[in-house]
Amino acid sequence: MVKDRMVELLQEHFELNLYEARAYVALVGFGVLTPAELASVSEVPAPRTYDVLRSLEKKGFAISQPGKVNKYRPVHPENILEKFIEEWQERIKEELEAKKKAKEELLQLMKPLIETEIPKYGVERVWVVRGIRNATLKTKEMLEEVRERILLADDGYIAINLENDLVKAIDSGAKAKIIVTKSVYDRLGDSKILEYAKKGKLELRVLDKFDLPMLICDDEVFFALEDMAARYFNYETQVWIKDFRIKDLFEAKFNEYWEKAKEI
């Protein structure tokens, strides 16, 4: 129903709760209502109408007319919705600036800790990473730190979503060989990956399918354990290993795919 959609949009995007959204839609429809009238024409429970209307007034969505019985009318949707967006943009801008300042302060405060990172973490060679967000962060970190070579066999995420990180690594001097499935290749469109491949800045091949997607950056290897259910819910388990022997094993597998793949 149209009314339900209006209520849903007010809740989702304009910070009204369910009863407030229902009340505002009713006010827009009827023009002027008392709390008792609101209860009779909307799905706002009678004991809640006074609180709901006062809350709408406080948030700028309604205006009250004092009297023996208070009456309420809506602020015109064009006015209040535009005003809400303007205030939201200003609030977001302030929050963004606050977060940037907090980041700079934290980096400064953590500088002594960062400088001791090598003796604390240098011995670690295996990490398990779960969830798409954590996997993305780890992948971006690898592409930021790579110096010599990138080998990527990708069946659906990195080439599409981390294109800028790949390109930046290549621009910084890393050599890249990339294998993608046909479905990924069809989605590359006018991407820089295709542009760089045509200009000879990276090597790109297409393979119908492969059973072990992987990313190799110098001596680091990143791959996903096969779990379709976890992948569906964006919670698949990824394994990161830094060991030249493991790298050699994965590189051999990558080379098998490379020989089978077709040049673009």
Supply the DSSP string of 46-86, one letter for each residue. Answer: GGGHHHHHHHHHHHTSEEEE-SSS-EEEEPPHHHHHHHHHH
* Best mean pLDDT range from 68-77, 128-137, 184-193: 68-77
pLDDT, mean over the chain: 87
Q: Which residue has the higher pLDDT, 6 or 114?
A: 6
pLDDT of 55 over the 80 cut: yes
Could you tell me which residues come within 8 angstroms of residue 75 by beta carbon, excluding any fewer than 6 positions away? Answer: 60, 61, 62, 63
In the predicted structure, residue 255 carries a pLDDT above the cut 90: yes
Model confidence at 119, in pLDDT bands (50, 70, 90)?
very low
pLDDT for 154: 87
Per-residue pLDDT band at 66 (split at 50, 70, 90): confident
| CB of 195 closer than 8 Å to CB of 164 | no
Which architecture characterizes domain 121-263 according to CATH? 2-Layer Sandwich (3.30)
Average pLDDT over residues 121-138: 75
pLDDT at 232: 56
The answer, yes or no, to whether residue 211 has pLDDT greater than 90, is no
Bridge partners, 220 (sequence order):
217, 242
* From 7-11, 137-141, 216-220, the region with the lowest mean pLDDT: 137-141
227-238 average pLDDT score:
64
Which residues make beta-bridge pairs with 239? 128, 223
Parts of the chain belonging to CATH 1.10.10.10: 2-76
Phi, psi of 35 (to 5 degrees): -55, -40
Pairing of strands 126-130, 237-242: antiparallel
Q: Determine the Cα–Cα distance for residues 181 and 207; give it in Å rounded to an integer.
A: 5
CATH number of 2-76: 1.10.10.10
Q: Where in the chain is the domain with CATH 3.30.870.10?
A: 121-263
Q: What is the pTM of this model?
A: 0.56
Pick the range with the lowest mean pLDDT from 11-25, 171-185, 213-227, 240-254.
Answer: 213-227
pLDDT > 90 in the chain, percent: 56
